[in-house]
Amino acid sequence: MKGLVWLRNDLRMDDNPALREACIHSDEVHCVYIYSKEQMKFHNEANCKIEFIIDNLKSLNESLKEINVSLTIVESEGFNDNANKLLDILLDRSIDNIYWNNMFGTDENERDEEVQALLNKNNISYKNFDDQVVYAPGAIKTKEQKPYSVFTPFKRRWIEKFNIDFLDIEFQYTPKAKSEVESNVHEFNFKFQKNHHVDMSLWKIGEENALNILKNYLDKKVFRYSFDRNDPITDGTSRLSPYLALGIISPKRCILEALKKNNFELDTGEKGIVKWVDEIVWREFYKNIMFSFPKVSRGSPFQDYTKNIKWRFNENEFQAWKEGRTGFPIIDSAMKQLKSEGWMHNRLRMVVAMFFTKNMLHDWRLGEAFFMENLLDGDFSSNNGGWQWSSSTGTDAAPYFRIFNPITQSKNFDGEGLFIKKYIKELKNVDKKEIHDPSEIIRKEVNYPSQILDLKESRLRAIDAFNSAKN
């Protein structure tokens, strides 16, 4: 028996149900990854993320070689030709079964339906699995059998349903029969041109490194997560989000290892661990929203009335925000972190997004797209959920009158100004009392820009825009 594993957002061997099932039931196993530069462009995938994908494919290829599994890359124009590409491989190599792990976006679902229809037409067996979540999207519903749209009751039900057996993910691979098909990973022309300025040395390649990052975090830092998670200069978060986004590590592995550190308690015990697991549940919540309410994948707000908001647009302000020249140090330093690291601290993602959608009153979709174009950990459901939460257009969103003051946020979470000084060199010698909101004299002395807007006036403008949309 020959099995084919269609790799997507699951670039790992550990806790890969599709690969595991193929290895159990097949004497010879092949893997294929369909690479579509145009599809990635259509989905606003960041250039640094594409580089990360390519490097991790090469790393995975070396691991698969150890069990005689070949990985080949197939070039594609887009999702529309995936079904035929796969069928050609299956027929050419006389493969009996195909396996894959599910994705939950609207485009991905439509593609997979086309694949399944063609496989059924040709009497080819397939199996698909859920590896990005503990519970398949749509599995957790209210008593009325409706999807949850508020996180807290979703989490409560998620915990109620939880069974440790869900985390039975250990598996020992054994070598398969050697295939005549040679891997083309290192010879394949990805036609990739680097056009970003992200320091990629910050992000280690491969699932072994991802598992080590998880281990070190749980050994040393997770216990302080509830205290340190909002401090952008303290290395208090796991920084596993890029590895989760690409499936280099699984959420089940993260939860299992966390539970081992917490006497297998899910919602009691060490506060830091409980809070950290909460973030993984948030991830599942947003995948459920994306699955249950497809409109959010089509650029629509979750809250229908917010379609009436009269967003403004100012090109100069938009460019200043993108380039970290707003005159608000915490905003500008966060945007510079994004450009230099391909990542932004989660607290600052909220501050930056709320400033963009409330104070600037710019359409959240512009900010959402810009983040996807620059985030190494770009995950549509989480990014969309975060932007709609911040803009008060989404599910379980912040009330529209809740508007973070960036200066207050800066003082509260970067009191010493160390984060600001790290990313804005012009302010490195400014006193901590002045750094959050430098005077015009200081701004001129160090060549730091004036504020692009008035916080008080812009706040009132935002509240008025939302009130008008409601009425």
62-83 pLDDT tens trace: 999 999 999 999 999 999 999 9
Contact between 5 and 32 (Cβ < 8 Å): yes
Predicted pLDDT at 294: 93
* Stated length of the chain: 471
**Alpha helices for 198-303 (secondary structure H):** 207-220, 225-228, 241-245, 251-260, 271-292
Mean pLDDT of the chain: 96
Query: Which of left, alpha, beta for 360 (phi over 0: left; psi -120 to 50: alpha)?
Result: alpha
The single residue listed with the structure tokens 């694949």 is: 115
Predicted pLDDT at 190: 95
Q: How confident is the model at residue 199 (pLDDT cuts 50, 70, 90)?
A: very high
Interatomic CA distance for residues 273 and 461, integer angstroms:
40
* Structure-token pair, residue 88: 């050609």
173-197 pLDDT tens trace: 999 999 999 999 999 999 999 999 9
Domain made up of 2-131: CATH architecture:
3-Layer(aba) Sandwich (3.40)
Indicate which residue of 75, 208, 279, 373 is catalytic.
279
Decide if 279 is catalytic: yes
Decide if 311 is catalytic: yes
Q: How confident is the model at residue 398 (pLDDT cuts 50, 70, 90)?
A: confident
Decide if 100 is catalytic: no
Contacts of 198 (CB under 8 A, 6+ apart): 48, 339, 340, 341, 342, 376
CA torsion, points 112, 117, 120, 125, in degrees to nearest 10?
A: 0
Domain 132-167+206-292 sits in CATH at: 1.25.40.80
92 HSE (CA, 13 A, CB side): 9
Interatomic CA distance for residues 22 and 71, integer angstroms:
14
87-133 pLDDT tens trace: 999 999 999 999 999 999 999 999 999 999 999 999 999 999 999 99
pTM: 0.96
Indicate which residue of 282, 321, 343, 389 is catalytic.
282
Decide if 282 is catalytic: yes
Q: What is the percentage of the chain residues whose pLDDT exceeds 70? A: 100
Q: How confident is the model at residue 267 (pLDDT cuts 50, 70, 90)?
A: very high
Q: How confident is the model at residue 471 (pLDDT cuts 50, 70, 90)?
A: confident
Write out the residue limits of the CATH 3.40.50.620 domain(s) in the chain.
2-131
Indicate which residue of 314, 346, 405, 412 is catalytic.
346
Indicate which residue of 6, 343, 387, 389 is catalytic.
387
Indicate which residue of 68, 75, 184, 311 is catalytic.
311
Predicted pLDDT at 396: 84
Write out the residue limits of the CATH 1.10.579.10 domain(s) in the chain.
304-470
Position 21 pLDDT exceeds 90? yes
- The DSSP letter of residue 147 is B
Position 235 pLDDT exceeds 90? no
135-160 pLDDT tens trace: 999 899 999 999 999 999 999 999 99
Classified by CATH at the fold level, domain 304-470 comes out as: DNA Cyclobutane Dipyrimidine Photolyase, subunit A; domain 3 (1.10.579)
Interatomic CA distance for residues 336 and 325, integer angstroms:
10
Indicate which residue of 44, 364, 374, 383 is catalytic.
364
432-463 pLDDT tens trace: 999 999 999 999 999 999 999 999 999 999 99
66 HSE (CA, 13 A, CB side): 8
